[in-house]
Amino acid sequence: MSTPTPTSLRPEDVDGVRTAVLDTAGPIAIAGAGTAADWAGPLGAVDAVLDTTALTGVITHNPGDMTVSVRAGTPLRALVEELAPHGQHVSFDAARVADGATVGGLLATADAGPSALIHGLLRDLVIGTTLVLADGTIAHSGGHVIKNVAGFDLSKLVHGSYGTLAVVAEVVLRLHPVAKATATLALDCPLAEAPEHAARVLGGPYEPVALEWVGESAAEGTLLVRIEGTEAALRARVDRLSRVIGTEGGAARPTDGWDRHAALVRGTDGSASLRVGSLPSRLPSLIASLPAVTGITAGLGTGVATVSLDPAGVAEAHALVHAAGGTSVVRSRPAGADVPSWGPPPSAIAVLKSVKNALDPQGRFGPGRFDPWM
């Protein structure tokens, strides 16, 4: 017996999202540009797919306050292009932004890029959201005022929820000035030596915007350090930093871009991709212990890495990360590969289940995304 094709829903505003949710009785998948469709657990059977890509465009941009309100289906790449004439941008550089990833999708998948070292994750740039819950409730959290608040922060809650708690309809973001000039230095070294160089950079007055190690294996790779500043000051800063991270065995060199980093984040053909988080001090040794690795990007200041590896080694990798007190989730898998999306359940699994039951008691949104946890 064939499985019925899910109904396609494509609302254009918040009220349209609410109507779509209320008019559908069964489980719903929330979809954006599809750049992370195979992340986390495989989606279970649904009655409808709620497509957010018609929820596009800037709602309000306050250049003086450096905030922007945008519909969640807007590609972040398009938003950055619109803000550029104002000399402002969203300080977020996940690799899939170039692939057309949407603001809501990036928030829901907890994606991040190298600049998280200084600017934080996307949740740290979000100061407000408008969500639609499974019962049709339109919930507002935060706004255009940048301040700390007490209470239940729905904006933080949907970060990394993979479309299981609510439909993200609108997002208010904190902006930053576009840098006048940027430069990246590269130092070839094995992963085991990279923390020593990184410690000198992070421990001095060098203000790196990003610091990542990239390589096909832990034995051989490159440390990338990006800095920003004015045209007049950057050259002197580059020279000083070059002397700091250079060694007798090798010298730091300028590099044009982060293409290799982006390629390794996207994964290699035939491999599974795992996002790993741990204490920064434990990350290098943890990565070195993982089996059958074919690609690595490691944030030595953030403790976040993306690792490509043989699908047969995913279960063991999850177990090793969990034993080290870290977290891991599958970010991509070869077609047809049966790999566990998550490792052993975290100690806070009871809290996760309680939040799910409070916001979506019938389990309508994103079935399967957190299997086998819930």
Higher pLDDT, 253 or 365: 365
Q: Are 310 and 294 in contact (CB under 8 A)?
A: yes
Contacts of 176 (CB under 8 A, 6+ apart): 66, 88, 89, 90, 91, 119
SS3 79: helix
- Domain positions in the chain: 1-178+347-374, 179-343
Position 256 scores a pLDDT of 65
Q: Kind and range of the H or E element at 232? A: helix 231-245
User: How is residue 292 written in tokens?
Assistant: 């059958």
pLDDT of 243 reads 85
Residue 2 pLDDT: 57
Directed axis angle between helix 231-245 and helix 194-202, to 10°?
A: 140
Residue-wise pLDDT tens digits, 38-75: 899 999 999 999 999 999 999 999 999 999 999 999 99
Instruction: List b or e across 23-54, with b for residues whose CB sees 16 or more CB atoms inside 10 angstroms.
Output: ebeebbbbbbbebbebbbbbbeebebbbbbbe
239 three-class SS: helix
pLDDT higher than 70, residue 1: no
Rounded to an integer, what distance in angstroms lies between the CA atom of residue 126 and that of residue 286?
31
The token duo for 278 is: 């741990």
CA-angle at 342, arms to 297 and 366, nearest 5°:
110
pLDDT in tens, 238-254: 888 888 887 544 566 77
Considering the entire predicted model, what is its pTM? 0.94
- pLDDT tens across 69-112, in order? 999 999 999 999 999 999 999 999 999 999 999 999 999 999 99
* pLDDT confidence of residue 250: 53
Q: What is the pLDDT of residues 104-147, one digit of tens each?
A: 999 999 999 999 999 999 999 999 999 999 999 999 987 654 44
pLDDT value at residue 248: 46
Buried b (16+ CB within 10 A) or exposed e, 207-242: ebbbbbbbbeebeebbbbbbbbbeeeebeebbeebb
Whether the Cβ atoms of residue 180 and residue 231 lie closer than 8 Å to each other: yes
Q: Which residue has the tokens 């977290």?
A: 327
Q: Residue 303: CA atoms inside 13 Å, Cβ hemisphere, count?
A: 13
pLDDT at position 257 over 80: no
Considering only residues 161 and 151, tell me which one the structure prediction assigns the higher pLDDT: 161
Contact 314, 277 (CB under 8 A): no
Task: Note the pLDDT tens digit of each residue in 177-212.
Answer: 999 999 999 999 999 999 999 999 999 999 999 999
- Expressed in angstroms, the distance from the first to the final Cα of the chain is 27
| Per-residue model confidence (pLDDT) at position 251 | 61
What is the rounded CA–CA span in Å between residue 216 and residue 237? 30
Domain 179-343 has CATH 3.40.50: no
Instruction: Say yes or no: do domains 1-178+347-374 and 179-343 share a fold.
Output: no
CATH fold group of domain 1-178+347-374: 3.30.465
